[in-house]
Amino acid sequence: MNTTRNTDTVEVIMKDQRRRRWSLAEKAALVRRSYEPGMSVSLVARQEGVAASLLFQWRKLERQGALTAVSAGEAVVPASELAAARAEIAKLQRVLGKKTLENEILKEAVEYAAEKKWIARSPLLDGDGQ
């Protein structure tokens, strides 16, 4: 009599066991495998011993470009910090624009006053700067 045994493997995780750290290359490889024909997130997760929800999260990050940015050595910042930085840049550009305009107006006023002889001519106004 020939019987075949179907044995399943059970993994026991002890409380003091540390979590596994996945490198960016490993994450990207698992994400790519999950997109291959005949593969699914659940199947890849079971084969590699990772939670399917975590693999779904990595797929989402990959679609957003987060895994690529990190592997390329670029900094990844939260969207709120990016929005705050862009708002600060816009504010500084407005201030710079106002100051540039004020500077041009004052320069024209000094040139006009010099032409009317309201103020003494300065060598700096002649453009020589000498």
pLDDT at 100: 94
31: nearest Cα among 4, 3, 66: 66
User: In this structure, are 128 and 96 located in the same domain?
Assistant: yes
Are 71 and 112 part of one and the same domain?
no
- 66 within domain boundaries: yes
> Residue 86's pLDDT is what?
92
Q: Are residues 90 and 113 in the same domain?
A: yes
pLDDT on residue 93: 94
Model pLDDT, residue 92:
95
Q: Is 19 left (phi over 0), alpha (psi -120 to 50) or beta?
A: beta
Task: Report pLDDT for 127.
Answer: 57
- Final residue of a domain: which of 76, 100, 122? 76
- The whole domain housing 45 covers 20-76
Measured CA distances, 14 to 9, 11, 48 (Å): 16, 10, 18
- Whether residue 30 is found in the same domain as residue 67: yes
CATH number of the domain that residue 30 is part of = 1.10.10
Q: Is 109 in the same domain as 81?
A: yes
Q: Are residues 63 and 26 in the same domain?
A: yes
Neighbours of 62 (CB within 10 A): 18
Nearest to 109 by CA among 129, 128, 101: 101
Could you give the number of structural domains in the chain?
2
71 and 104 in a single domain? The answer is no
**72 & 114 share domain:** no
Written as tens digits, the pLDDT of the chain (130 aa) is 555 566 676 666 666 656 788 888 888 899 999 999 999 999 999 999 899 999 999 998 888 777 665 555 666 777 788 889 999 999 999 999 999 999 999 999 988 888 887 766 556 655 555 4
pLDDT in the model for residue 89 = 94
What is the structure's pLDDT at 126?
58
- Judge if 84 and 72 occupy the same domain: no
Q: What is the pLDDT of residue 113?
A: 86
SS3 74: coil
